[in-house]
């Protein structure tokens, strides 16, 4: 007896046009992102195209925002991959609704609207609060290093920069002398284009000199922050200018020989990565609400240390939501007497570890560090220990989702203000994924 299969006719044409709403199952993330973007204020996007005239017909900003946000929410960050998905992926095609922008258009739209895309993050945070997904009872702060869009091989140490400058200047002088000799002799050497060689080496010299000057200026700023001055004779001094004993290892404004600068993304910094090794990276900071793991503040810097980020992150939470949380949690990387002093006057209970979990921290002098002693006393109470135990559960999952679920481990853009905006776009996309999942739940 012949087997009876279900009908299968790949060449069968549809008698009626298909509805876009029938392409994906109900409750799909693409529908939630589409509806959410429609509810956001996109006037800042529209304003850029006002007065363009009938002949100027850009792609609709709402469509472009939906496609970009959905791409980041599903781990598609490349403009070329988004362009391909608009042809191959049902969700992207539904959001595009018959529009197929090229990758250059997607790339330029993202670059042109960095500030507007950053502002959408705050709108989504406020929307999450209206949905009841934010309570601002406890907020935990954590940082993670994300690779810059820069090769570690396209960097140079300060020592090597000085050597390269000397070598390039000598080669340029030799080429100039050779050109004079050839001109005087009336000879021609077709195998070597001397003017082009000189131009190439001068461009390289200019780039290395600029990188060295950036390193030295960065070191001068760091020395000034430490209390050094240009005429300190390498002797540490107190507030009154009196020598304290000992000597600085380097002259004022002189970086370490191994200090590096990257030519591809000069704003990035060499930072230690988990598991060992170093990369050109940025330090991304998130403040996470404990109700539904919604990121309520997302900031980024090129300083590897977390110490100076605690107060600005809490201020960002207040700016984004309109109020401070009742409690803030952070690990030992944010420990600082100055931080504790500044937070003492704010209406928020802050619990910050003073050392690694399970390890005893050094004895604290109550005369010089009274606020740190107060924090140590708080951590010794049952309430303080119970509060800090929740930090890891609240703060660390979103950073893991960004890297492992979304797959965002390296920035697509370059430059500090650009990667700051891209990180907020990533956190916006992750928040929408969480909000969609909570709606289904």
The reply to whether 232 and 381 lie within a common domain is no
CB 23, CB 94: distance < 8 Å: yes
- In whole angstroms, give the CA distance from residue 295 to residue 401: 12
155-195: per-residue pLDDT in tens? Answer: 777 677 777 778 777 777 777 777 777 666 655 555 567 77
Rounded to 10 degrees, the C-alpha dihedral 367/372/374/376 comes to: -120
pLDDT given at position 247? 80
For residue 315, with 0-12 CB atoms within 10 Å meaning exposed, 13-18 middle and 19 or more buried, which class applies? middle
Concatenate the DSSP letters of all residues of 171-230 into one string.
HHHHHHHHHHHHHHHT---TT--HHHHHHHHHHHHHHHHHHHHHHHHHHHHHHHHTT--T
The reply to whether 325 and 409 lie within a common domain is yes
pLDDT given at position 108? 94
pLDDT given at position 171? 74
The reply to whether 314 and 402 lie within a common domain is yes
pLDDT given at position 174? 77
The reply to whether 200 and 315 lie within a common domain is no
For residue 79, with 0-12 CB atoms within 10 Å meaning exposed, 13-18 middle and 19 or more buried, which class applies? buried
The reply to whether 65 and 174 lie within a common domain is no
pLDDT given at position 189? 55
- Whether residue 402 is contained in a domain is answered as yes
Both tokens of 314, joined, read: 């809490």
User: Domain total for the chain?
Assistant: 3
Domain that holds residue 177: 155-262
- What is the mean pLDDT of each successive set of 10 residues along the chain, which is 441 residues long? 79 77 86 95 89 73 96 96 95 93 94 93 95 93 93 72 75 74 61 72 76 75 72 74 76 77 83 83 95 95 92 95 94 92 91 75 80 90 91 93 94 93 96 89 56
Which of 262, 278, 300 corresponds to the end of one domain? 262
- In whole angstroms, give the CA distance from residue 256 to residue 247: 15
- In whole angstroms, give the CA distance from residue 283 to residue 296: 17
- Whether residue 96 is contained in a domain is answered as yes
The reply to whether 288 and 184 lie within a common domain is no
Q: How many CA atoms does the CB half-sphere of 286 hold within 13 Å?
A: 30
- Whether residue 434 is contained in a domain is answered as no
- Whether residue 105 is contained in a domain is answered as yes
334-371: per-residue pLDDT in tens? Answer: 999 999 999 988 899 999 998 876 556 667 888 888 89
- Whether residue 182 is contained in a domain is answered as yes
The reply to whether 92 and 186 lie within a common domain is no
Which of 51, 81, 112 corresponds to the end of one domain? 112
The reply to whether 271 and 386 lie within a common domain is yes
The reply to whether 197 and 141 lie within a common domain is no
The reply to whether 371 and 413 lie within a common domain is yes
Both tokens of 205, joined, read: 């010299």
Q: How many CA atoms does the CB half-sphere of 439 hold within 13 Å?
A: 19
Which of 225, 243, 262 corresponds to the end of one domain? 262
pLDDT given at position 368? 87
């Amino acid at each position: 007896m012949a087997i009876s299969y279900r009908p299968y006719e790949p060449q069968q044409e549809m008698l009626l046009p298909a509805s876009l709403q029938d392409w994906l199952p109900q409750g799909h993330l693409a529908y939630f992102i589409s509806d959410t973007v429609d509810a956001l204020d996109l006037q800042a996007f529209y304003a850029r195209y006002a007065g363009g005239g009938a002949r100027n017909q850009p792609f609709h900003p709402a469509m472009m925002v939906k496609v970009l946000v959905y791409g980041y929410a599903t781990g598609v960050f490349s403009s070329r991959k988004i362009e391909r998905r608009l042809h191959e992926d049902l969700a992207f095609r539904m959001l595009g609704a018959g529009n197929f922008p090229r990758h250059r258009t997607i790339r330029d739209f993202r670059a042109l609207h960095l500030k507007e895309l950053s502002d959408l993050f705050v709108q989504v945070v406020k929307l999450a609060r209206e949905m009841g997904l934010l309570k601002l009872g406890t907020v935990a702060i954590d940082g993670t290093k994300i690779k810059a869009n820069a090769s570690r091989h396209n960097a140079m140490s300060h020592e090597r920069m000085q050597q390269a400058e000397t070598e390039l200047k000598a080669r340029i002088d030799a080429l100039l002398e050779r050109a004079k000799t050839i001109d005087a002799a009336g000879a021609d050497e077709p195998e070597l284009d001397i003017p082009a060689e000189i131009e190439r080496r001068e461009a390289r010299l200019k780039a290395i000199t600029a990188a060295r000057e950036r390193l030295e200026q960065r070191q001068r700023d760091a020395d000034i922050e430490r209390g050094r001055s240009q005429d300190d004779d390498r002797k540490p001094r107190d507030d009154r200018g009196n020598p304290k004993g000992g000597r600085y290892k380097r002259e004022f404004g002189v970086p370490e020989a191994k200090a590096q600068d990257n030519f591809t993304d000069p704003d990035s910094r060499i930072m230690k990565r988990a598991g060992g090794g170093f990369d050109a990276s940025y330090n991304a900071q998130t403040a996470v609400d404990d109700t539904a793991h919604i990121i309520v503040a997302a900031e980024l810097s090129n300083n590897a240390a977390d110490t100076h980020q605690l107060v600005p992150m809490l201020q960002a939470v207040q700016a984004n939501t309109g109020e401070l949380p009742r409690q803030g949690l952070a690990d030992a990387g944010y420990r600082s007497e100055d931080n504790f002093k500044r937070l003492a006057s704010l209406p928020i209970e802050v619990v910050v570890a003073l050392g690694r979990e399970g390890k005893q921290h050094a004895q604290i002098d109550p005369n010089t560090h009274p606020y740190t002693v107060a924090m140590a006393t708080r951590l010794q109470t049952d309430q303080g220990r119970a509060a800090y135990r929740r930090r890891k559960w609240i703060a660390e999952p979103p950073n893991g989702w960004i890297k492992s679920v979304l797959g965002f481990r390296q920035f697509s853009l370059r430059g500090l203000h650009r990667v700051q905006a891209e990180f907020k776009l990533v956190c916006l996309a992750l928040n929408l994924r969480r909000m969609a999942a909570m709606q289904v739940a």
